[in-house]
Structure 1
Amino acid sequence: MFNYELYTLDEFLKDDWFREWVMNPTQATESFWNDWLRLNPDKQPIVDQARALLRALEMPHRSVSKADIAEAVDATFARLQQEPRYVVRTLPQRQWGWAAVAVLLLTGLGSYFFFYSQTSTKNATSVAATSAPAGELLTQINDSQQAKRLLLPDGSYVTLSPAASLSYPGKFNGNERRTYLKGDAFFEITRNPAKPFLVVTDKLVTRVLGTSFWVKTNSGHAESRVVVRRGKVSVFKTDDLEQADKKPEGVVLLPNQQAVLLDETNRLTKSIVEKPVQLQKPANNHELSYSEAPASQIFGDLGKVYGIQIVYDEDVLKHCQITATLGDEPLFDTLKLLCNSIHASYEVIDTQIVIYSKGCK
């Protein structure tokens, strides 16, 4: 067993077991790392830093290709070689990306690497911050045309979309961490079961313990939306927030689920996100491959990979055999192809996908 108690930041970033937990969590990795953190609470800050860096690779603002990483690494090492106060350890080529990430964090350039590796310094974004007296809220406003990442007092990260603003206290006291959002933002929340994190908007409140999710309030439509990437959140109407004598009526969201509040009806509903992402990778980490496999097996595997309940009649599908290799194609494109191959169809109902088929002879 690795001695994780002695790990440095870059060693966490390069550890396969740690990266699997952050990027593609399974029951095994969740159980191990949560138990380990309970036994090593002093390691929570460095673990949170490493998780935030790895999760930034999944941020929806832009994808980070291998070319992006190589370019950032070359630029970083060139810059560090010009500054003698840093010591750079030579690593094999395949490890450069992770070493660069660690160095960039220590030099205050982590956000630049992940979000703006192709953006020149002259185009860097700025956030206009106004501070208030002790006991009042700080307000961060993204007045640029690009996303801006913020670090909150509890170690959580928030990425503000253009024109968005976030208000929060200089220190999270009391029994909750309450923030106020205008506009769109992506949240990566440091887990703290004893102190839930609240995002309050004009229409909705999102309550979490520790996870990552989108809150969208100015998408150009007459609606408010919360989209969950990882973990579990509860969402309810802002009008219910201060009603101490009434338990808020809302919805609980899991990964690849969203809650939408339409202004026209003032009704809160939940559904599957438009483009679900894989929550756990296939066994070979690349694709699902089948040769004359029962259709029910394939639909079952897809449900596990995406964390979505796919409903089908196993007796009806038992004679439907499919030969296919499934890679990183969008889930709904994959379902369409599979259904067409066995003359079936599917329908999305709330947070479930229902397969309709008359069977195969």
Structure 2
Amino acid sequence: MTRLYAYDNAVSYTLPDSSVVTLFPHSSLSYHSESFGDDSRQVEMTGKVEFRVTKNPEAPFVANATYATVTVLGTQFTVDELNPDSIGVSVTSGKVRFTAKDGNEGIILTKGMHACLLAGADDPEIIETTQTGGTPAAHKFVFDNTPLPDVLKRLSAHFNVSLTCPSTGKVLTAEFETDNLDEIIMLIEKSLDVKIEKETK
């Protein structure tokens, strides 16, 4: 088995099929030489890895994370599981299928789409983005009767912080179209009459 690592700096590697992976700090990727055959390509990963996959319709490329699987034909995408409570996938080009290992059929993501899978969930959730003019895309977070702990997990994963709240029995239905976490926290606190604690990781 071949094992690739990144310690304090990001490192790029070329795989046997000419696909290129960039491992972000404290990430790893491994594969067996026989995993790159005529009809499939398989790798195992931990941490955060960007993939630029060589197109081969006859041999789908499968990236196995801790509790999720991403299957592609040829594309560029990033898998981020640096937060132990969730796995995020962002697609730069092409199309991928993002599934929980023990879940359902999963969801299809295309260029510019982002999704997050919470630990223990059956399916990932799409994190919508909007863009106007030349301004950067702002994330649109959509919650529909979502338990507050799940809301905080999703926001924690996206903003790389730790959000906690003692009032865990409440649910939230709301949409936030902003990347200002403090604004989102304030709106949730006012809406649900709770107090949310934020800690930087």
Q: CA deviation at 1:254?
A: 0.9
Counterpart in the other structure of 2:39: 175
Does residue 194 in structure 1 map to residue 194 in structure 2? no
Q: Given the alignment, which residue of 4, 9, 17 partners 1:154?
A: 17
Once the two structures are superposed, residues 288-324 of structure 1 have per-residue CA deviations (whole angstroms, 9 ceiling, x without a partner) of xxxxxxxxxxxxxx6xxxxxxxxxxxxxxxxxxxxxx
Rounded to whole Å, the distance in 1 between the matches of 2:121 and 2:19 is 33
Q: Given the alignment, which residue of 139, 149, 155 partners 2:3?
A: 139
Rounded to whole Å, the distance in 2 between the matches of 1:181 and 1:347 is 32
Counterpart in the other structure of 1:257: 113
The letter for the 1-side match of 2:77 is F
TM-score normalised by length of structure 1 = 0.36
Q: Given the alignment, which residue of 207, 211, 234 partners 2:71?
A: 207
Question: Moved runs in structure 1, 4+ residues, more than 3 A?
Answer: 264-267
The letter for the 2-side match of 1:180 is E
Worse overlay, 257-266 or 176-185? 257-266
Secondary structure, counterpart of 1:226 in structure 2: strand
Relative distance call for 1:157 and 1:253 in structure 2 (3 A) is same
Q: Which has the higher contact order (CA 8 A, sep 6+)?
A: 2
Secondary structure, counterpart of 1:207 in structure 2: strand
Across the aligned residues of Structure 1 and Structure 2, the Cα RMSD in angstroms comes to 2.4
Preserved contact between residue 38 and residue 58 of structure 2 (Cα < 8 Å): no
Once the two structures are superposed, residues 101-148 of structure 1 have per-residue CA deviations (whole angstroms, 9 ceiling, x without a partner) of xxxxxxxxxxxxxxxxxxxxxxxxxxxxxxxxxxxx2111112x1110
Q: CA deviation at 1:264?
A: 6.1
Q: CA deviation at 1:164?
A: 0.5
Secondary structure, counterpart of 2:3 in structure 1: strand
Counterpart in the other structure of 1:229: 92
The letter for the 2-side match of 1:139 is R
Aligned residues, how many? Answer: 141
Counterpart in the other structure of 1:165: 28
Unaligned runs of 5+ in 2: 140-174, 178-201
Counterpart in the other structure of 2:135: 329
User: Computing the radius of gyration over CA atoms, which structure comes out larger, 1 or 2?
Assistant: 1
> Structure 1 vs Structure 2: percent identity of aligned residues?
29
Within 5 Å, give how 1:54-69 maps onto structure 2: none
**More strand by percentage:** 2
Rounded to whole Å, the distance in 2 between the matches of 1:200 and 1:264 is 16
Preserved contact between residue 206 and residue 233 of structure 1 (Cα < 8 Å): yes
Relative distance call for 1:264 and 1:157 in structure 2 (3 A) is same
Counterpart in the other structure of 1:352: none
Q: Given the alignment, which residue of 249, 268, 292 partners 2:124?
A: 268
Rounded to whole Å, the distance in 1 between the matches of 2:71 and 2:121 is 23
Counterpart in the other structure of 1:31: none
TM-score normalised by length of structure 2 = 0.63
Preserved contact between residue 256 and residue 272 of structure 1 (Cα < 8 Å): no
Secondary structure, counterpart of 1:239 in structure 2: coil
Relative distance call for 1:200 and 1:264 in structure 2 (3 A) is closer
Relative distance call for 1:193 and 1:162 in structure 2 (3 A) is same
Rounded to whole Å, the distance in 2 between the matches of 1:347 and 1:224 is 21
Preserved contact between residue 184 and residue 216 of structure 1 (Cα < 8 Å): yes
Rounded to whole Å, the distance in 2 between the matches of 1:194 and 1:263 is 31
